[in-house]
Amino acid sequence: MPIRQSRWFSTFAGIAILLLSVPSARAETLTVWAMGEEGLRIAAMARKFEAETPGVKVITQAIPWDAAHEKLLTVVVGGLPPDVSQMGTTWMAEFATLQAFEPLDDYVRQSGIVKQDKFFSGSWQTGVVKGRLYGIPWYVDTRVLFYRKDLLAQAGIPHPPRTWNELKAACKVLRKDSDRNGKADSYGITLPVRDWGVFLSFVWQNGGDVFRPASPEYIEAMKYYASFFREDLAPSGRAADIDLFQAFKTGFYAMFISGPWMVELIDRELPELKGKWGAALMPKKKHGTSFVGGSNLVVFKDSKKKELAWKFVEFMSRTDNQIEWHRMLNSLPAVKDAWNAPALAKHEMLRVFGDQMEDVQSPPNVPEWEQIASLINTRMESVILSPRGEGDKIEQVMREHQREVEDAVKERETSGVRVDQFLYTALAMACGVAFLYFYISHRVSTVDAKSNRRTLPRNERASSFFNTLRRAYPGYLFILPSVMVLTLFLFIPILASFLISLTDWNIYSLADRGRLNFVGFKNYMDVVHDQVFWKSLWNTLFFTAVGVPFTIMISLLCAVVLNEKFVRWKTFFRTAFFLPVISTIVAVAVVWRWIYNPEYGLLNWFMKSVGLPEFNWLSDPSTALASLILMAAWKNFGYNMVIFLAGLQSIPEALYESARIDGANVWQLFLHVTLPGLRTTTVFVAVMSTIGYLQFFAEPYVMTNKGGPLNSTMSIVLYMYNQGFKFFQLGYASALAYILFGIIFAFTFLQIRLRKSGFETPV
Amino acid sequence: MKAPAVTRIIERTTVYVALITVFTIAVIPFVWMITTSIKPGEGIFTCPPRWFPEHPTLMWYKQLFRDVDFMLHFKNSLIVSVTTTALNLFFCSLAGFAFAKLRFAGRNRIFTLLMATLMIPGQITMIPVFLFLKKLGLLNTYWGLILPSCVGIFGIFLIRQFMLTVPDDLIEASRIDGCSDFRIYWSVVMPLCKPVLATLGIFTFMGSWNDFLWPLIVMVGEDRYTLPVALANLNGQYATKFGLLMAGAVVVVIPIILIFVLAQKYVIRGIATTGLKE
């Protein structure tokens, strides 16, 4: 029999492998990644490169900007990077520390095309990390002030604001509230709520420093920036969500700060504004600094076609291609020669960018930059969105911010525990635990099975452990595939995860094994001081505590109603109620984002037509979580309803009959017959829903841009995902997973205990 | 006897009003999804919402399959879901059979251990499994999605529960006739288990088809995205092209709805069983 079975197995496995093996292309292919619009347009350059380089096929892939960082980290950690990629200048240090890039110094030395003096010096430096060159500037990017000439002139402002004071004064003049309802009808400027690039420009203009947020210069800049929102000189909340082109066209605001791509976009989207708008240098305080960024092109160390990849980088750095790229995307060339092209030198708006490039600053080239940037964004948002009147707290917030920035860049001391040793220990421990478990279970089951022993031949009774194994062979063979898969992908990972949670495993120790440290329960201790964790814990508990009873109530109601004997088309209704359950959350989220849209959404339309107040559902921190609960209830009630329906079937009809004879009305029947009869079912539903709701992830991931606004929809699982697969803080993320497990365990235990005590009380 | 009649009418009206209200809420998003996907560019952003387009069009679907290549993602999803389902049915039924009908040392212990791990949130294993798949070189492959989920503890439980109801006499009789254990499993027990296999099959398929988090982590190349990941990606790239997004959503949701409508008997029964037996 075992032989038959194994043949069956290999046949099956063979078929499966055949089905899944994908023929790999033999032609020389080059994979190039680029973000956003660049990713879509780069295909044209790729075709040109293919034409110049016969026998090469370039595969381009567009990565959305907001997913790009985690995507790149994942592929680098996974060892599957593209050959060439666009790389944001602020990410260079981080990825260079991960040893993700091929150093390019030698390539440049031998190159006839790429030479340092051909590039803007400030932009060249973004490709250099710790003295080695890893990236070649592709295009540069800076921010300037866009303004409506006509609107400023109408308001009696002769030229675009050149200083902080002029900017503030202009905004005060331009803010209009013609119907005097306290809500402005038009503003002077719109400023981003979460964009460190624009905000830091103001900090730099005042002589501030990213690493010293508690300094007076920094605080003054923050106060200046926030004052636009506090004095209602810049739109916030719903008003800020209005489409930029629409707002600029109607004059809802007369100024905004943005990058070079806007020049082309305004021309295209708002042709009627031609000649009525302009671009100006950033307003000055001590300096007129703007942020400089842009993108470099990098070659990955794990690429198998580095020579070809470098050829592509050279191709993109050629002056003619730089000009062509500018023509396609209006991005600013990194090669100085390209600026002599008429399209740039004679362009009224783009020239401004050229001038602005004289006074620019880039964020510090430290590997922790992404983390710091995200901290700045959060602080920015919290200061701006905090209730008015809390202005005095800015100093305190900035002191906290300084501490967290210092924490982020703090040098970690390394102890040199080898990761391989660590892994072997983990594996040995796992095997040990498994062996102990089965040995003990064998001892217990020999005791358990004593009664069964009678059927066995006498000489096998005093069997050894291994004898048992032999006798049990068929059974083990049947569970072997399952146990193997579960051991590899469930049991060992569960243990390994715990061990990882005791280390400081992060991206750097992934790249350099010597940097892994055993830190004991430090990760669990750190959680205590982690504000985002507490926020996510609170959100998760709130989501569960409100969501579970809410969903169960709806489910129960539907089940009871649907269970009425006279109701027709039962299957039809049940099917309809079940549709949300089976549909993919990502697809559902697309529709629900529309339902919650503050301007065109169904929900606000409904609220308005019945005379209720409208909300900015998903972008207001106070309603975002509630919106997700509503959606989750919609998605899940059908599942519980089916379980309740089954539970209702099992309540004997006689109980209802006798209650009716006793004169009970509908409500009393429900209260005294239905509810007690459903006790077991309810506990089951509650336990399952709680376990599910405590793990909510996809809802905030797709609906509220990964936990926003202000982390008001950050869940534990999402936070764990962020820590684990966005920042690759694997140790910390594992600790979070175990904490979640602890919470789920506690809840389940509690609910089952409650049920037990519930059974003992007479119904 | 008039009073009860009036009460009954009131009762019935209330029940139907409640049912129709819930029905509307449950179905509206799907109606909107479908109608928006056939609306041409304008008219999506109108208030009050316009439900049905005056000039229905398939332009978004064309764009979806031509420019975004949703066919490829559809294929990925199909391969992964079908293979995962097939492996689950085979492995879970093997194990379920052993736990229900074969006697071996530690059987109940192992089963209890499996049941205990049902409570552990899947996120705990994500990081080690990710590193493990990396070591095996299975990132960005179909196997990277299939292997970790090709056996479900829930599936083993479901099948074992069903197989417990198969009479022991039947198995003993086959054994006396000289059937091997595997033969008994394959030719005697499995044919009796078609309903529960259908249930498990549909559940696994739905779970695999709808899975979002794991494919998001494992599938690196755009050409390997499954439908939900591709749709989320689309959402990030064309956030304002609602017609295109809705067309994508329809493509993701329709197959699963079709399967459900055709085989809902098994789904409902499966859920009801798990709810009552525990």
Per-residue pLDDT tens over the stretch B253-262: 999 999 888 8
> A328 vs A550, which has greater pLDDT?
A550
Report whether pLDDT(B94) > 90: yes
pLDDT of residue B68: 77
Q: Which of B86, B109, B256 sits opposite A582 (nearest CB)?
A: B256
Complex confidence, ipTM: 0.89
Average pLDDT, chain A: 83
pLDDT tens digits for range B30-76? 998 898 888 876 555 665 667 777 778 888 898 888 877 889 999 99
Q: Which of B94, B242, B275 sits opposite A594 (nearest CB)?
A: B242
pLDDT of residue A206: 93
pLDDT of residue A627: 93
pLDDT of residue B277: 44
> A742 vs A761, which has greater pLDDT?
A742
Report whether pLDDT(A118) > 50: yes
Q: Using the beta-carbon criterion (under 8 Å), do B256 and A583 form an inter-chain contact?
A: yes
Partners of B18 on chain A (C-beta within 8 Å) are 557-558, 561
Partners of A444 on chain B (C-beta within 8 Å) are 109
Least confident of A11-25, A223-237, B11-25, B122-136: A11-25
How far, in Å, are A45, A246, A343 from residue A324 at the CA level?
9, 30, 10
Partners of A75 on chain B (C-beta within 8 Å) are 220
- The Cα–Cα gap between A501 and A504 comes to 8
Q: Please name which of A399, A409, A331 lies closest in space to residue A370, comparing C-alpha atoms.
A: A409
- The Cα–Cα gap between B76 and B233 comes to 15
State the maximum Cα–Cα separation within chain A, in Å, rounded to a whole number: 109
The pLDDT of A354-379, averaged and rounded, is 84
Considering only alpha carbons, which residue of chain A is nearest residue B79? A20
Label residue A390 by pLDDT band (50, 70, 90): low
CA distance A75 to chain B (A): 6
Label residue A87 by pLDDT band (50, 70, 90): very high
- Let me know if the fold of A144-292+362-409 is the same as that of A530-585+613-760: no
CA distance B13 to chain A (A): 10
pLDDT of residue B102: 87
Q: Using the beta-carbon criterion (under 8 Å), do B109 and A441 form an inter-chain contact?
A: yes
Partners of A609 on chain B (C-beta within 8 Å) are 48
The pLDDT of A657-662, averaged and rounded, is 88
Partners of B227 on chain A (C-beta within 8 Å) are 584
Flag whether residue B103 sits within 8 Å of chain A, measured between CB atoms. Answer: yes
pLDDT of residue A217: 92
Contact A147, A254 (CB under 8 A): yes
CA distance A493 to chain B (A): 5
pLDDT of residue A464: 57
Which segment, A74-83, A85-94, A120-129, A701-710, is predicted with the most confidence on average?
A85-94
- The Cα–Cα gap between A730 and A732 comes to 6
Domain segments of chain A as ranges: 26-140+294-348, 144-292+362-409, 419-520, 530-585+613-760
Report whether pLDDT(A18) > 80: no
Average pLDDT, chain B: 85
Which of A571, A591, A719 to probe the B interface (max B CBs under 10 A)?
Answer: A591
Flag whether residue B65 sits within 8 Å of chain A, measured between CB atoms. Answer: no
Report whether pLDDT(A133) > 90: yes
Report whether pLDDT(A351) > 80: yes
Flag whether residue B18 sits within 8 Å of chain A, measured between CB atoms. Answer: yes
How far, in Å, are A82, A734, B214 from residue A494 at the CA level?
32, 10, 16
pLDDT tens digits for range A635-645? 999 999 988 98
Considering only alpha carbons, which residue of chain B is nearest residue A577? B26
Domain A530-585+613-760 matching CATH 1.10.3720.10: the answer reads yes
> A507 vs B152, which has greater pLDDT?
B152
Q: Using the beta-carbon criterion (under 8 Å), do A638 and B94 form an inter-chain contact?
A: no
Residue A56, strand partner residues: A28
Report whether pLDDT(B26) > 70: yes
Label residue B156 by pLDDT band (50, 70, 90): very high
Label residue A200 by pLDDT band (50, 70, 90): very high
**Residue A505: what are its φ and ψ, rounded to 5°?**
-55, 120
- The Cα–Cα gap between B216 and B206 comes to 17
pLDDT of residue A23: 46
Q: Using the beta-carbon criterion (under 8 Å), do A600 and B44 form an inter-chain contact?
A: yes
pLDDT of residue A13: 54
pLDDT tens digits for range A295-325? 999 999 989 999 999 999 999 999 999 999 9
CA distance A476 to chain B (A): 8
pLDDT tens digits for range B59-69? 889 888 887 78
Q: What percent of chain A has pLDDT over 90?
A: 27
pLDDT tens digits for range B191-208? 998 888 988 998 899 999
Partners of A588 on chain B (C-beta within 8 Å) are 29, 249, 253
Considering only alpha carbons, which residue of chain A is nearest residue B138? A78
- Classified by CATH at the fold level, domain A26-140+294-348 comes out as D-Maltodextrin-Binding Protein; domain 2 (3.40.190)
Report whether pLDDT(A462) > 60: no
Label residue A444 by pLDDT band (50, 70, 90): low
DSSP assignment of B235-267? HHH-TT-HHHHHHHHHHHHHHHHHHHHHHHHHH
Report whether pLDDT(A497) > 50: yes
Q: What percent of chain A has pLDDT over 70?
A: 87
Helix axes A621-649, A531-563, angle to 10 degrees: 40
Q: Which amino acid is at A277?
A: W
Least confident of A53-57, A438-442, B212-216: A438-442
The pLDDT of B15-21, averaged and rounded, is 89
Q: Which of A583, A589, A647 sits opposite B276 (nearest CB)?
A: A647
Q: Which of B28, B124, B217 sits opposite A738 (nearest CB)?
A: B124
Burial bucket for residue A101 (CB in 10 Å: 0-12, 13-18, 19+) = buried
Q: Using the beta-carbon criterion (under 8 Å), do A691 and B182 form an inter-chain contact?
A: no
Tokens at residue A15, please?
Answer: 């078929």
Residue A374, strand partner residues: none
Cα–chain center distance at A516: 26
pLDDT of residue B115: 83
CA distance A286 to chain B (A): 39
CATH fourth-level superfamily of A144-292+362-409 = Periplasmic binding protein-like II (3.40.190.10)
Label residue A716 by pLDDT band (50, 70, 90): very high
Q: Using the beta-carbon criterion (under 8 Å), do B264 and A578 form an inter-chain contact?
A: yes
> A595 vs A466, which has greater pLDDT?
A595
The pLDDT of B16-30, averaged and rounded, is 91
Q: Using the beta-carbon criterion (under 8 Å), do B151 and A684 form an inter-chain contact?
A: no
Label residue A547 by pLDDT band (50, 70, 90): very high
Considering only alpha carbons, which residue of chain A is nearest residue B121? A741
Q: Using the beta-carbon criterion (under 8 Å), do B213 and A721 form an inter-chain contact?
A: yes
Strand (E) positions, A134-272? 135-142, 144-148, 187-190, 253-258
Taking a contact as any Cβ pair under 8 Å apart, which residues of chain B between 104 and 163 contact chain A? 104-110, 113-114, 117, 119-132, 134, 139-140, 142-143, 146-148, 150-151, 153, 156
Q: Using the beta-carbon criterion (under 8 Å), do A16 and B87 form an inter-chain contact?
A: yes
pLDDT tens digits for range B222-251? 788 999 989 888 877 776 678 888 899 999
Contact A439, A433 (CB under 8 A): no
∠ Cα A617 A618 A622 (to 5°): 70
